[in-house]
Amino acid sequence: MADSIPLNPVRKNSRKTAYYNAGRPARYVDGRILNLNTVLYQQFKFFLNLYFLVVACSQFVPSLKIGYLYTYWAPLGFVLAVTMVREAVDEVRRCRRDKEMNSQLYSKLTVRVRKAHLIPADMILLRTSEKTGSCFIRTDQLDGETDWKLRIAVACTQRLPALGDLFSISAYVYAQKPELDIHSFEGNFTWEDCDPPIHESLSIENTLWASTVVASGTVIGVVIYTGKEMRSVLNTSQSKNKVGLLDLELNRLTKALFLAQVVLSVVMVALQGFLGPWFRNLFRFVVLFSYIIPISLRVNLDMGKSAYGWMIMRDENIPGTVVRTSTIPEELGRLVYLLTDKTGTLTQNEMVFKRLHLGTVSYGTDTMDEIQSHIIQSYAQVSTPSRKPQPPAPKVRKSVSSRIHEAVKAIALCHNVTPVYESRVNGVSTEPESTEADQDFSDDNRTYQASSPDEVALVRWTESVGLTLVNRDLTSLQLKTPAGHILTYYILQIFPFTSESKRMGIIVREEATGDITFYMKGADVAMASIVQYNDWLEEECGNMAREGLRTLVVAKKSLTEEQYQDFESRYNQAKLSIHDRALKVAAVVESLEREMELLCLTGVEDQLQADVRPTLELLRNAGIKIWMLTGDKLETATCIAKSSHLVSRNQNIHVFRPVSNRGEAHLELNSFRRKHDCALVISGDSLEVCLRYYEHEFVELACQCPAVVCCRCSPTQKAQIVRLLQQHTDNRTCAIGDGGNDVSMIQAADCGIGIEGKEGKQASLAADFSITQFKHIGRLLMVHGRNSYKRSAALGQFVMHRGMIISTMQAVFSSIFYFASVPLYQGFLMVGYATIYTMFPVFSLVLDQDVKPEMALLYPELYKDLTKGRSLSFKTFLIWVLISVYQGGILMYGALVLFDQEFVHVVAISFTALILTELLMVALMVRTWHWLMVVAELISLGCYLASLAFLNEYFDLSFIMTRVFLWKVCVITLVSCLPLYIIKYLKRKFSPPSYSKLSS
């Protein structure tokens, strides 16, 4: 239900931060407490860590104890410590940011917010320091739009003589119940202790939503929504914890290893004949073979992910790139679908006026000088007008000059643009907040602020042809003619643009003549039924859209004083309605929107981002299917898709006809099914109908298209499309955008990329990866994504090989010695094997690369191979299993056969050969040597040799120094590694991989 909020600050909590603290989402308060549980859950939901936790706990049972406790708990603790330290670093950063946000102080009056400060809660604007009673706010962190928004104070409180008078009045605000829509609000302000009571309607123009920033002046407001009721919180979706496909694949492989471990343990117990407490022996064998599942796998992969993120952010070719989610860099190398926004992503969100069409004549960029000459001529002929009403002139065909004059004047008046002048202090520009005496009103010092870049482009164009907007406040605006004369127009009413009406209007009274005129502009679909009959509008709108232009239809209607007074009375009454206010207000406005005179059709163009065409070509050649999701009209979206080369010029396009029911959708889908290898263009409304009745069929057909364009798409629909692809395909999705309306899509995708653009940082902050330009996505995917996936696949499999080989040796040892559950290696040997002896060489695989970055960009087809997942599959896993079994068997049997007279030294012999084999296997896997790899190999070998002198418990130093020991260890190592080198050489010679062909 709606609430009435008393306006008496004395009765409210007088703490400065009362409203602010109440208005923050709960995560700012208890995020640090809950995060520890979240980290532990995220770690132990993986089978690998949960398995080792159970194994480590089993060592507290004496009958199940195999070795020292630290050999099991130390690796587990180290893995968890590394992960939790990484999470702690991220949490500290969040904590600092939250503390900075939560510690801001606000003045004691209901809420006072100064310039450049964040609005703490949803408020009604009561008073502003600006004399006009208005102020500007920046909403980029709320809706992704960088243009300033105009907000208006409640008229009766703004007129109070002094600020302290707010305490002496008795008033309340009636506010509607909390809603999701950030662009609408209905309420009333009532001042009770005056005669008669004052009732003033409140709309979106009187609101200050939380997460917006005051751009001019100081504002005072009354809080109406806090906490979970605030618009910003209602529109915030909880981001999911993203897990990479590689992690899921490795998790499945560890389950397979566990199954093999259990089978091996059962075999051992069976060969014992299930004697004695065989169930206890079974569990001891499970613990004994536990190293078949490497606990170091997670920590190596996590450290590798951090290394990949560091490399991405240090890449000078993609400056400004930020890795915000460090757990999924490999996802960048597995993408099949890229879903991209249009405005601000493929285009620059910088509008340029391109065309003016008057029905019989059209003007483009090369003929704008003709319009300028007509404007100069028109205002030169205008004499000082008389305020005496003139009788209506007979209807005659207007000249081109008069039609141009009317059109340009309408465009210069019908908008929400405000000219802003920077202050100049000793020649240095400051922000626009000074007294008029300090301001410079010259043309060079003027900038325009509006809620839409289209409007700014139109006003800049009228300035270029001679009619300049020089000043605007709540009640009037001034235009400067080519001769320098100032024309003043009083603003009687203004009807803002909404996504439902798709048009905006303004009623002005000209000061010189007293004429009242209603101007309106909007989309052709909205204006076609409003303007008088014509035979050119629909055709020319289509022509302009095919050129990639955004079109606006401009119309006007002259009103008499009686007509306006009647309208104003009905309009004010409708605005005070509590129930169905929007419908009643719309009905009154629509009474004016009849038989309006069509003045012109305008076209503006959004410039393409730099290198969009080659980037999209690169992605297509890499096998990535690109879907463009935009809120623009069908024709404009289609044209941008062609001009950006998202759809090649010789490629057929199937435009999905508008459908509204099941039958129409069925027929259109059948028509689409008969076409092959053509791009699809569909509107959001038709898409919704298709998904309602034929979801599976539509997605199946759409996925076969080389490109898909969805126009008139809402943010919810964008996220829905992402989830559809995830549900109906096994492929990875990526979403990229730059505005607040792209956040849902970015968060839903397997990999979200945000662009820091003109629409603010909301998309980039919510994304997994943030870039500064769309063209950087090519290198991010082709180079870093590809390397991250191939490196992690190699690293993961080698770490598993490291565990399987030692488990094979344990199995051979136990089988020879009567299937006893006695460990081959104990204590420090097991800990050192996976850490100081082999960790650095194995981890150095994160520096390996098969081709140079330039080659990966030159041949994007190399990326296509990665989507098949061949770098890490059950086939490659089985190959590594065979390698591990072979090498483990050779090392163990070789040690027993060659040293049968010195059996007490088997441990030292086999372990030394094992370390040498692992170091040589790393060298076997490396495709491009890095100097750090050589250093890692030498350091590890040096550490092992140095530790031999201190490990007297395991090694006999006098025996190790003998020549016989050395050459026999070398023989065992050679037999375990040489065949693999030969196989690799033959395979590379007779069946080389694609990258090796390019390298040669």
Residue 45: inside a domain, yes or no?
no
Q: What is the pLDDT of residue 966?
A: 87
Domain with 709 in it: what CATH number?
3.40.50.1000
Average pLDDT over every residue of 891-918 = 82
Q: How confident is the model at residue 691 (pLDDT cuts 50, 70, 90)?
A: very high
Does 993 reside within a domain?
A: yes
CB atoms within 10 A of CB 926: 18
Number of Cβ atoms within 10 Å of the Cβ of 595: 10
852: number of Cβ within 10 Å: 13
> In terms of domains, do 941 and 793 share one?
yes
Q: Which of 301, 261, 282 is nearest to 51 (CA)?
A: 261
CATH number at residue 114: 2.70.150
CB 789 within 8 A of CB 242: no
Q: Is cis: bond before 178, omega within 30 of 0?
A: no
Calculate what percentage of the chain has a pLDDT beyond 70: 85
**How many residues are listed for the chain in this entry?**
1000
> Of 751, 771, 791, which residue is a domain's last?
771
Residues 691 and 798 in one domain: no
Which of residues 692 and 98 earns the better pLDDT score? Answer: 692
Whether residue 941 sits in one domain with residue 867 = yes
Distance of CA 591 to the CA centre of its chain: 43
Q: Are 404 and 532 in contact (CB under 8 A)?
A: no
On the question of pLDDT at 28 being above 50, the answer is no
pLDDT digits (tens, 9 = 90+) for 412-428: 999 988 888 765 444 44
Q: Which residues are annotated as a binding site for ATP?
A: 341-343, 455, 497, 521, 550, 630-632, 712, 718, 741-742
For residues 456 and 489, membership in a common domain is answered with yes
Least confident of 180-184, 319-323, 358-362: 180-184
Residue 86 neighbours by CB distance under 10 Å: 17
Q: At what angle do helices 786-816 and 874-898 cross, to 10 degrees?
A: 40
Answer with the residue of higher pLDDT: 580 or 238. Answer: 580
The CA–CA distances, whole Å, from 317 to 255, 312, 650, 779 equal 40, 10, 33, 8
d(Cα 609, Cα 613) in Å, to the nearest integer? 9
The C-alpha atoms of residue 2 and residue 222 are separated, in whole angstroms, by 16
Q: Got the DSSP string for 261-275?
A: HHHHHHHHHHHHTS-
pLDDT recorded at residue 995: 67
525-581: pLDDT as tens digits: 889 889 998 889 988 988 887 787 888 999 999 999 999 999 999 998 888 887 888
Task: Give the position of tokens 């009454």.
Answer: 573
pLDDT, averaged across the chain: 82
Q: Which of 235, 258, 279 is the last residue of a domain?
A: 235
What is the rounded CA–CA span in Å between residue 648 and residue 362? 29
Position with higher pLDDT, 882 vs 576: 882
Least confident of 47-51, 95-99, 558-562, 729-733: 95-99
* 870 shares its domain with 954: yes
Task: State the pLDDT confidence band at 870, using cuts at 50, 70 and 90.
Answer: confident
Nearest to 725 by CA among 873, 868, 620, 625: 625
Residue type, 632: D
Instruction: Please give the pLDDT value at position 279.
Output: 79
pLDDT at 10 over 60: no
Cβ-contact 482, 491 below 8 angstroms: no
Annotated binding site: 341-343, 455, 497, 521, 550, 630-632, 712, 718, 738, 741-742
Q: Domain count for the chain, please give it.
A: 4
The answer to whether residue 28 is domain-embedded is no
Can you tell me the distance from the alpha carbon of 784 to that of 304, in angstroms, rounded to the nearest whole number? 13
SS3 684: helix
From residue 80, alpha-carbon distances to 54, 922, 967 in Å are 15, 26, 41
Last residue of a domain, one of 721, 748, 771: 771
At 567 the three-state DSSP class reads helix
Pairing of strands 732-737, 751-755: parallel
- Quote the tokens at residue 513: 């003549």
Q: Residue 597: CB partners within 8 Å, gap ≥ 6? A: 531, 532, 555, 556, 557
494, part of any domain = yes
**CATH code where residue 968 lies:** 1.20.1110.10
Q: Residue 884's CB: how many other CB atoms inside 10 A?
A: 21
Q: Does 672 score more than 60 pLDDT?
A: yes
Say whether both 896 and 752 belong to one domain: no
Residue 491: predicted pLDDT: 93
What is the predicted pLDDT for the residue at 91? Answer: 67
Q: How many CA atoms lie within 13 A of 139 on its CB side?
A: 24
pLDDT at residue 32, as a whole number: 37
- How many CB atoms are located within 10 Å of the residue 146 CB? 18
Report the SS3 class of residue 66: coil
pLDDT of 989 over the 50 cut: yes
Distance, in Å, from the CA atom of 884 to the CA atom of 242, rounded to the nearest integer, reads 32
The answer to whether residue 869 is domain-embedded is: yes
Amino acid, single-letter form, for residue 139: T
- Quick one: three-class SS letters along 152-190? ECCHHHHCCCCHHHHHHCCEEEEECCCCCCCCCCCEEEE
Greatest mean pLDDT among 293-297, 303-307, 500-504: 303-307
Q: What is the pLDDT of residue 42?
A: 66
Closest residue by Cα to residue 671 from 684, 685, 686 = 686
Q: Tell whether 654 and 751 lie within a shared domain.
A: yes
**Which range is least confidently modeled, 9-13, 395-399, 531-535, 825-829?**
9-13
Contact 551, 534 (CB under 8 A): no
Please tell me the distance from the alpha carbon of residue 531 to that of residue 522, in angstroms, as a whole number: 11
In a domain, residue 435? The reply is: no
Rounded mean pLDDT of 676-698?
90
> Which residue in 698, 696, 641 sits closest to 668, CA to CA?
698
3-state class (DSSP) for residue 214 = strand
Same domain flag for 837 and 985: yes
DSSP string for residues in 389-410? PPPPPP--PPPHHHHHHHHHHH
Q: Residue 65 falls within a domain, yes or no?
A: no
Does residue 822 carry a pLDDT above 60?
Answer: yes
Picking from 84-93, 340-349, 743-752, which range would have the lowest pLDDT averaged per residue? Answer: 84-93
pLDDT tier, 284 (very low <50, low <70, confident <90, very high otherwise) = confident
Instruction: Please give the residue range of the domain that contains residue 530.
Output: 352-377+401-419+447-605
The verdict on residue 78 lying in a domain is no
The answer to whether residue 9 scores a pLDDT higher than 50 is no
- The whole-number pLDDT of residue 560 equals 93
Name the helix (H) or strand (E) containing 978.
Answer: helix 963-990
Instruction: Return the residue matching tokens 């490396």.
Output: 926
Confidence of residue 1000 (pLDDT cuts 50, 70, 90): low
Q: How confident is the model at residue 832 (pLDDT cuts 50, 70, 90)?
A: confident
Asked about 341 being catalytic, the answer comes back as: yes
> Is the same domain home to 157 and 263?
no
- Alpha-carbon distance 869 to 730, whole Å? 11
Residues 592 and 616 in one domain: no
Q: Residue type for 289, please?
A: F
Element (H, E) at 969: helix 963-990
C-alpha to C-alpha distances, 999 to 491, 853, 928, 991, nearest whole angstrom: 70, 12, 10, 15
The pLDDT, as a whole number, for residue 743 is 83
Same domain, 757 and 788: no
* CATH number reported for the structural domain that contains residue 524 in this entry: 3.40.1110.10
Does residue 598 surpass a pLDDT of 80?
yes
Distance (Å, whole) CA 575 – CA 199: 10
**786-815 residue pLDDT tens:** 999 999 999 999 999 988 998 899 888 888
Q: Which of 122, 143, 302, 341 is catalytic?
A: 341
Task: Work out the average pLDDT over 648-663.
Answer: 86
605: pLDDT confidence band, cut at 50, 70 and 90? confident
Same domain, 881 and 965: yes
| Averaged pLDDT for residues 779-785 | 95
